[in-house]
């Protein structure tokens, strides 16, 4: 099956995954402060969920190592990656998926540049073991899911959205993903934080930058909640004390994380 020919089926699989996210959110009975967070393929699930089911009950979205807007190069999407690249990956997986895992994780963490200071052998082995636990079919079929077209979902996202992405990402190149979201203004309320020389898994190799970006983003949510909750008191002339603010600045927001 070619990369292009598999798109329709993968759109359906992604719809199923985003539906699961919605069912999980309903089951957990999360309050309106929930933040949907995704990494890598999980950013596609968050995007598809918001584009399909809307943002009711969701206050923000946080996306790390994003896959949207559309990774596959076509006549009307010239900034994408040629289909032959993905077809080649699938052939490599069929030939020896374990050898492909070695190559994939070397680029996942940019080990030639960042090991051993930012990624050690033990963490690399742990990633390999997780991948090796997947089925041979899943290892092969997941490649086509990377080629889902999210351009129809992005304009429907109506909550503040954070994107954190490494500028040296070899899996989902910055210029084909995060830079397009920013430069083409594909999400209305978007904050893009680029991590200089960061690989795909910036959460492991650059936790200081990644955590700082996320905490700053969430703190702005807390301030907004504070303003909404006590705005009526202010209008009525009641003073707002520092203790009011501290209640919200120390309040944890529910976060539903989606990782793939």
Active-site annotation, residues: 40, 169, 200
Distance CA(55)–CA(192), nearest Å, equals: 20
**Residues constituting the chain:** 260
Contacts of 181 (CB under 8 A, 6+ apart): 66, 68, 69, 154, 163, 187, 190, 192
* Closest of 183, 178, 188, 192 to residue 154, by C-alpha: 188
* Closest of 211, 195, 207, 213 to residue 118, by C-alpha: 207
Helix (H) or strand (E) holding 83: helix 83-95
DSSP state string for 160-228: -EEEEEETT-SSS-GGGTHHHHHHTT-SSSEEEEEETT--S-HHHH-HHHHHHHHHHHHHHHHHHHHHH
CA-based torsion, 205, 251, 187, 49: positive or negative: positive
């Amino acid at each position: 099956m070619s990369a292009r020919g598999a798109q329709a089926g993968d759109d359906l699989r992604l719809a199923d995954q985003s539906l699961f996210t919605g069912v999980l959110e309903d089951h957990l009975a999360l309050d309106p402060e929930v933040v949907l967070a995704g990494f890598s393929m999980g950013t596609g699930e968050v995007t598809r969920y918001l584009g399909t089911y809307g943002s009711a009950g969701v206050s923000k979205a946080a996306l790390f190592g994003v896959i949207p807007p559309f990774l596959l190069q076509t006549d009307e999407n010239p900034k994408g990656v040629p289909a032959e690249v993905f077809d080649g990956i699938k052939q490599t997986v069929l030939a020896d998926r374990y050898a492909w895992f070695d190559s994939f994780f070397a680029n996942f963490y940019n080990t030639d540049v960042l090991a051993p200071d930012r990624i050690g052998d033990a963490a690399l082995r742990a990633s390999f073991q997780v991948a090796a636990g997947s089925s041979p079919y899943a290892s092969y079929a997941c490649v086509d899911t990377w080629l889902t077209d999210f351009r129809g979902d992005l304009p429907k996202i109506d909550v503040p959205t954070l994107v954190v992405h490494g500028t040296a990402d070899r899996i989902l190149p910055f210029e084909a993903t995060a830079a397009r979201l920013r430069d083409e203004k594909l999400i209305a309320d978007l904050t893009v934080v680029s991590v200089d020389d960061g690989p795909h898994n910036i959460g492991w190799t650059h936790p200081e930058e990644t955590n700082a970006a996320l905490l700053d983003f969430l703190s702005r949510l807390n301030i907004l909640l504070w303003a909404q909750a006590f705005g009526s008191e202010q209008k009525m002339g009641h003073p707002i004390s520092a203790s009011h603010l501290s209640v919200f600045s120390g309040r944890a927001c529910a976060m539903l994380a989606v990782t793939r």
